[in-house]
Amino acid sequence: MITMTTASRALKTKYGPLLTNQLNVNTSPFYKEVEKTSKYLVGGNQFVMAAPIGINGGIGAINETDPLPTAGYQEHANLTTVPKTLTGVFRITDKAWKSAQKSEDAFINLFTSEAQSLEKGTKWDLNRQMWGDGTGIMGELAPLAQPGNTFTITTGIQNFIEGQVVDIYDYSGASGALNKVVDRGRIIAVNNKPGGAMTITLTTITGGPISVALTAGANSEPPYVTMQGSLNNEITGLATLHDNNIPNLYGLPKNTNPWLVPHTSDAQGALSDSVIQNMLNYLEDHFGANINMIQAGANAYTAYFAYLEATKRNINIQRLAGGFTALSYGEIPIIRDRFAPATTMQFLETAKWHFHQLGDWEWMDGYAGDGNILQQVPGYAYYQATLIKHADLMCEHPGGQGRLINCA
């Protein structure tokens, strides 16, 4: 008979390494290329990276009898961030456990199915966070006068899928204060068909009814959605670099450190090879960037595909590790990412990006102290194990990254 100790050992020795490998390779091409490292950890509670600014100034052309140039030095600035806690929960009910306990095949099928589900959910959310701004806001909602459980998504529909457990905030608190009106609601339906209303429908986590109205802020601030417990707890994603409403980046003010601010160019709805090349030239000439990856939103990707068709160009497809494919601009892959803003292209030098971490994905030790990572949750007829990682995303040369907007 398979025991809880046996099951915990299987999770730790078989499914743990498998999940870690799948997450590191298959989350996204960008995540795969980013260095995962713990070498910049300081004091156990923050990551500090010294980023070079400009060049060494101790150079010059002189007459043969002139004094040598004054010694210069390479200026650096310390970029800082703190680890964010990323988690995924593996859960099986007591009924499923009892059914699988006496059969090795049933046990393998049960655990493999749950591990694959955990992998899919964790990859989805990690990639979504990498495009976010750290606030955890997945999408904004239209106000709702009459209480209900179906809500209209006004931004971010690409971030939603059935099964997610989310919180909803509006401004119905005292004197218009922010208020959590849904705590851990489960999304049971996502309506994202073109031409129709973009909506999500929720129940409670146990399947019970939800009925709430949604109130906008005094200055028309929209209600919004986050993953459960994630408000202001997510990693420092790509949007943080470009959002002018976020004054600081990695502990430094953007307004007095222009080298922190990436370049943005407007394609004005006329995407072409020359527009892309102009961006590459600018980033190389002004920032010394060596762009090796372009990530495109759905509409931007389609616009470039249409441009290639219209100009009778051969459409070259690159096949990337992890099963991903990309269009080619020379040797640079143009990758469609569902979480990217629809009409933008993001120009990335992946060697300048780092996923700082305390360690790789691993299982938390069980709270009972018996060495089992899979344990019964007190008061409930199910068992769970928690996959966890403490990390944050950082770019050591943010000014050398670029964004092309209005590509379609």
CATH number of the CATH domain containing 329: 3.30.2320.10
Q: What is the pLDDT of the chain when averaged over all its residues?
A: 93
Query: Of 227, 248, 272, which marks where a domain is finished?
Result: 227
401/270 same-domain check: yes
In a domain, 61, yes or no: no
Q: The domain spanning residue 142 has which CATH number?
A: 2.40.30
25/114 same-domain check: yes
Backbone φ, ψ for residue 193 (5° rounding):
-75, 135
How buried is 36 (Cβ within 10 angstroms: 0-12 exposed, 13-18 middle, 19+ buried)?
middle
pLDDT at position 37 over 80? yes
127/166 same-domain check: no
Tens of pLDDT, residue by residue over 280-319, are 999 999 999 999 999 999 999 999 999 999 998 788 899 9
Tens of pLDDT, residue by residue over 54-107, are 776 777 888 888 888 777 777 889 999 999 999 999 999 999 999 998 888 999
Q: Which of 161, 178, 158, 164 is nearest to 224 (CA)?
A: 178
pLDDT at position 367 over 70? no
Q: What is the pTM of this model?
A: 0.91
- Give yes or no for a contact between 230 and 88, defined as CB atoms under 8 angstroms apart: no
17/126 same-domain check: yes
**Strand pairing report for 353-357 and 382-395:** antiparallel
**Owning domain of residue 207:** 137-227
Query: Of 179, 208, 227, which marks where a domain is finished?
Result: 227
Which residue would you say has higher pLDDT here, 102 or 384? Answer: 384
| Total tally of structural domains belonging to the chain | 3
Tens of pLDDT, residue by residue over 39-48, are 999 988 899 9
In a domain, 247, yes or no: no
In a domain, 238, yes or no: no
152/129 same-domain check: no
Q: Which of 351, 359, 354 is nearest to 387 (CA)?
A: 359
State what percent of residues in the chain have pLDDT above 90.
78
Q: What confidence score (pLDDT) does residue 186 get?
A: 97
Q: Which of 286, 299, 324 is nearest to 405 (CA)?
A: 299
Q: The domain spanning residue 109 has which CATH number?
A: 3.30.2400
In a domain, 187, yes or no: yes
301/389 same-domain check: no
User: Which residues, listed in sequence order, are joined to residue 348 by a DSSP beta bridge?
Assistant: 293
From the CB of residue 371, how many other CB atoms can be counted at a distance below 10 Å?
A: 11
